[in-house]
């Protein structure tokens, strides 16, 4: 099969997968649609509708029956995939496994509270509001991950002592794995209080949420699920990931621009927002709108 260079690129595949997930969301479990336009080849010159898509739970199986295309594979709602055409797998397994934290939790030791206050300029009220606790066996901060409506999604555990710093406990892999914060619950529906700020880690989000609605991506990936939730909450959106993720931010902004339109901006940070005082954050965010 003759594959054009552009069709080998990861972005090309990701964009097609995003279309498949959007289209597949309308299918019932077990349902198949045939004779639709292929998001990989567009059906060629004659716009031949030869693409088939089947939903099996959270997995969407696809196949293009055009001989010159032949794209085939599976993509999970969480963005993981198996690409049979290129024999490529995403780094995650196709169905990510849920992970539930069963270790007992306790209040953060005073010395650790003091550390967070001194290092990042948090107040004890910030920490209380974010629900941060402590896992004594492995000596890690436990930071809840919640939906925009305050529903529990799991935890991120952060070690103050070892690398890697963060460890994810996602309880339901169907949830978007991002964590939401706001000055008040009311602000999620108050458009006058916009923009929505998109940050990398939860500590930055806790700081930003003193003033703005904020979503922590729990990393740097803006995938289909997170994009759908950001769109649901509404914009405009300011992406303010850490400085070393600036190029990736620009790239992802272009990748998802079709959905976000011109209402998403990327700001270039000098240092992580968790280290910035409130006035600086306000200046950075409002300067970008």
How would DSSP label each residue in 20-69?
HHHHHTTSPTT-EEEEE--TTTTTTTTT---EEEEEETTEEEEEE--TTT
Tell me the C-alpha distance between 29 and 63, whole Å. Answer: 17
Nearer to Zn ion by C-beta: 66 or 153?
66
Nearer to Zn ion by C-beta: 40 or 256?
40
Exactly one of 38, 156, 241, 245 binds Zn ion (CB under 5 A); that residue is 38
Identify each DSSP E strand in 159-248 by its residue range: 166-170, 179-181, 196-199, 213-216, 237-239
Q: Report which of 228, 226, 229 is spatially closest to residue 217, judged by C-alpha positions.
A: 226
Nearer to Zn ion by C-beta: 69 or 217?
69
CA 184 to chain centre: 22
- Among the listed ranges 39-47, 84-92, 138-146, 274-282, the one in contact with Zn ion (CB under 5 A) is 39-47
Using CB under 5 A as the binding rule, the residues of this chain from 41 to 100 that contact Zn ion are 41, 64, 66, 69
Minimum Å gap between C-beta 71 and Zn ion is: 5
- Among the listed ranges 16-24, 36-44, 114-122, 204-212, the one in contact with Zn ion (CB under 5 A) is 36-44
Tell me the C-alpha distance between 237 and 170, whole Å. Answer: 25
Nearer to Zn ion by C-beta: 54 or 211?
54
Nearer to Zn ion by C-beta: 44 or 131?
44
39 phi/psi in degrees, rounded to 5: -75, -10
Minimum Å gap between C-beta 68 and Zn ion is: 8
Minimum Å gap between C-beta 2 and Zn ion is: 13
CA dist list (Å): 20 to 16, 17, 85, 250? 6, 5, 16, 23
Minimum Å gap between C-beta 70 and Zn ion is: 7
The answer to the question of residue 20 lying near Zn ion (CB under 5 A) is no
239 phi/psi in degrees, rounded to 5: -90, 120
Minimum Å gap between C-beta 179 and Zn ion is: 37
Exactly one of 20, 23, 40, 197 binds Zn ion (CB under 5 A); that residue is 40
Minimum Å gap between C-beta 37 and Zn ion is: 9
Nearer to Zn ion by C-beta: 53 or 198?
53
Kindly determine how many residues on this chain lie close enough to bind Zn ion according to the rule CB under 5 A.
6
Nearer to Zn ion by C-beta: 86 or 283?
86
Tell me the C-alpha distance between 241 and 216, whole Å. Answer: 9
Residues in the chain: 289
Antiparallel, parallel or unpaired: β 166-170 and 179-181: unpaired
Which chain residues interact with Zn ion by CB under 5 A?
38, 40-41, 64, 66, 69
């Amino acid at each position: 099969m003759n594959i054009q260079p552009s069709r080998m690129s990861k972005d090309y595949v990701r964009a097609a997968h995003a279309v498949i997930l959007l289209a597949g969301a309308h299918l019932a479990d077990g349902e198949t649609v045939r004779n639709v336009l292929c998001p990989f080849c567009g059906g060629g010159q004659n716009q031949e509708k030869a693409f088939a898509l089947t939903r099996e739970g959270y997995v969407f199986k696809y196949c293009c029956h055009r001989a010159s295309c032949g794209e085939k594979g599976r993509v999970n709602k969480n963005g993981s995939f198996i690409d049979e055409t290129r024999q490529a797998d995403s780094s995650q397994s196709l169905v990510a496994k849920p992970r539930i934290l069963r270790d007992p939790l306790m209040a953060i030791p005073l010395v650790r509270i003091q550390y967070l206050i001194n290092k990042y300029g948090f107040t004890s009220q910030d920490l209380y509001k974010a629900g941060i606790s402590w896992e004594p066996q492995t000596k890690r901060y436990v930071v809840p991950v919640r939906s925009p409506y305050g529903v529990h999604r799991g935890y991120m555990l952060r070690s103050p002592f070892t690398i890697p710093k963060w460890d994810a406990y996602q309880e339901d892999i169907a949830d978007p794995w991002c964590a939401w914060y706001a000055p008040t619950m009311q602000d999620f529906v108050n458009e006058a209080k916009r923009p929505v700020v998109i940050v990398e880690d939860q500590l930055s989000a806790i700081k930003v949420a003193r003033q703005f609605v904020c979503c922590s991506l729990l990393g740097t990936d803006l995938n289909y699920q997170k994009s759908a939730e950001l769109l649901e909450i509404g914009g405009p959106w300011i992406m303010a990931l850490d400085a070393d993720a600036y190029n990736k931010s620009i790239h992802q902004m272009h990748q998802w621009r079709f959905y976000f339109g011109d209402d998403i901006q990327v700001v270039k940070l000098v240092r992580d927002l968790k280290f910035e005082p409130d006035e600086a954050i306000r200046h950075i965010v409002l300067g970008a709108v």
